[in-house]
Each structure stands twice: as structure tokens, then as C-alpha cells.
Amino acid sequence: MNCSVAQALEVLGDRWTLLILRDAFRGHTRFDQFLETGISRNILTTRLKHLVDEGIFDRDPPTGKFAEYKLTRKGLDVQPILLSFTHWGDEYEPHPKGARLTFVDRWSGKPIQEMSAFSQEGKALKASDISVIVGPAYESE
């Protein structure tokens, strides 16, 4: 399917894959750490191999035991997707006790802005502020 969303979902469009990546951003690097989320060993093995094959994790060392799985730049660039899920979940599936995790600017300590599209001038844009231009690769093979 020739669409960037569909292409991205081919790689990332799996609940466990996104939860593994969430844990990687929390600092998890080892098989046993990723198991803590409740995933089965079989599924975790398959998903980690997939994420290494797709260049989202570097496996260190490449073969053998005691591997660490480290996010590549391609993996780190998944963060806006996860933060968008987080903010949507905070808004629409909140916890009665309040905040779970708050993501802050490390340098100021202030919460990051709500995930949103922004104009070049830095204005947050709503869905109704956004239109779409069809490019040369749309609808081609």
C-alpha cells in the first residue's frame, strides 16, 4: 500500500512492537527487562529480531548471549509516535489518581508541549487548520 502511514505500520503496527519500543525509551536494553511487560518469550524473540532486521535496534553483540538492544537513530525517531499515543491516552484514558508519566524538557524541567502539528511559525495546528497536497509518488506503484 503506497502510503507513509501504511508503510510505517508495516514496520511498527503491532501492539507489542510499540510496547517494546516504549520500554526501550525507559532504558530497557535486555531480553529479561523487556519480558517484564508481560510479553511471552516467543513473541518477544520474534519482535526483537524484526526490530533489529528493520534497523530500529542495534544488537550488541550481533550474535551470542547477553545482548543489549539499543535504539538506532531510526528507533529514536519513533519517539513522536509514542509521545502522541501517550498524550492521547492521558487525555482520553486517564488514570483516576492523576498523572502516570510526565515528559519534561531535560534542560528546563518543564513539561513538553502537548503533541500537535505545528506551523513553521510555531503555532499549534488543529485538524481543521491542515490541508494536504498530493505529491508525485501518490497513487503510483
Residues 95-134 that bind a copy of itself (CB under 8 A): 95-108, 110-113, 115-123, 125-134
**Any contact of residue 44 with a copy of itself (CB under 8 A)?**
no
- Does residue 61 bind a copy of itself (CB under 8 A)? no
CB of 46 to a copy of itself, least distance (A): 16
- Determine the 3-state secondary structure of 68 from DSSP: strand
For residue 94, say if its preceding peptide bond is cis, omega within 30 degrees of 0: no
Binder of a copy of itself out of 5, 32, 42, 63 (CB under 8 A): 5
Residue where the block lists cell 513473541: 43
Residues touching a copy of itself: how many (CB under 8 A)? 84
Exposed e or buried b per residue across 54-66, where buried means at least 16 C-beta atoms within 10 angstroms of its C-beta: eebbebeeeeeee
State which residue, 59 or 87, has the beta carbon closest to a copy of itself: 87
36 touches a copy of itself (CB under 8 A): no
